[in-house]
Amino acid sequence: MDIATLATTRHTAKDFDPGRKIPGPVIGQLRILLRYSPSSINSQPWHFGMAGTAAAKARIAKAATGPYAYNAPKIQNASHVVVICVRAGMDDAHLDAILAQEQKDGRFPLPEDMEKQRKSRLAYVALHRDVRRDLPHWMEKQAYLALGTLLLGAAALGLDACPMEGFDPDVLSNEFSFGSKGLRPVVLVALGTRGAGDWNAKLPKSRLLAEALFTEL
């Protein structure tokens, strides 16, 4: 399927068939999509909780409470749910781990390349932490790139998906002790196969017209 057809035919599934499980190798491809998502200065300020068991999904569904209760059945009935978390901060240990991995992966052909990369990355971190003072928001933006990559990729793999911001992050953090692990959940993605009650599959898609969105510069 060409990319435009994928973009215009994928949709947010509002109901999942609990009998349809995503096979292991396909989960492997979803993990690759998340892991290889781009991020500013390759900062990868994320962590992904992967839930495929009824018990794990039930724990996540606890956060679909109060005004978010409408999301609970999607979490319970989907084959898998991904909890996209953002790191609490951009600490030295994380930055060192990225740099070490880049070296291991052969990204520094010249001896001075590694130090150049370290300094350039630190400059961006300092910009967002000390000047713009938007470090958590900046890191969250990177996490949403992983979300976008996952959503389009899931469609390409023939899966249905439902991204969800409708949950209580404090309840979810308490349930999985995310706070003490230096993580903050920002968005969930239920994945699987749509169920008969997926009313959104029957509706036409709606987007603002291209004329309102694009300007030739």
Ligand X SMILES: Cc1cc2nc3c(=O)[nH]c(=O)nc-3n(C[C@H](O)[C@H](O)[C@H](O)COP(=O)(O)O)c2cc1C
What's the Cα-to-Cα distance from 4 to each of 11, 28, 104, 204, 210, rounded to whole Å?
Answer: 13, 25, 37, 16, 14
Query: Which residue among 51, 164, 183, 189 contacts ligand X (CB under 6 A)?
Result: 164
Among 187, 191, 193, 195, binds ligand X (CB under 6 A): 187
Residue 14: active-site member: yes
Distance, in Å, from the CA atom of 166 to the CA atom of 71, rounded to the nearest integer, reads 7
**Residue of 104, 119, 140, 165 marked active site:** 165
Position closest to ligand X via CB? 166
Q: How far is the CB of 159 from ligand X (least distance, A)?
A: 13
Give me the residue label for tokens 């290889």. 36
Residue 194, judged by CB atoms within 10 A of its CB (0-12, 13-18, 19+), counts as buried
Range in contact with ligand X (rule: CB under 6 A) among 10-18, 24-32, 127-135, 209-217? 10-18
Q: Is 153 in the site for ligand X (CB under 6 A)?
A: no
Q: Which stretch binds ligand X (CB under 6 A): 8-16, 46-54, 80-88, 176-184?
A: 8-16
| H helix intervals, the chain | 3-9, 24-35, 54-61, 72-77, 92-104, 113-126, 135-156, 169-176, 210-213
Instruction: Compute the least distance from the CB of residue 130 to ligand X, in Å.
Output: 28
Among 11, 87, 128, 184, interactor with ligand X by CB under 6 A: 11
Active centre residues (catalytic): 14, 74, 165
Question: What residues make contact with ligand X under the rule CB under 6 A?
Answer: 11-12, 14, 71, 162-166, 187, 200, 205
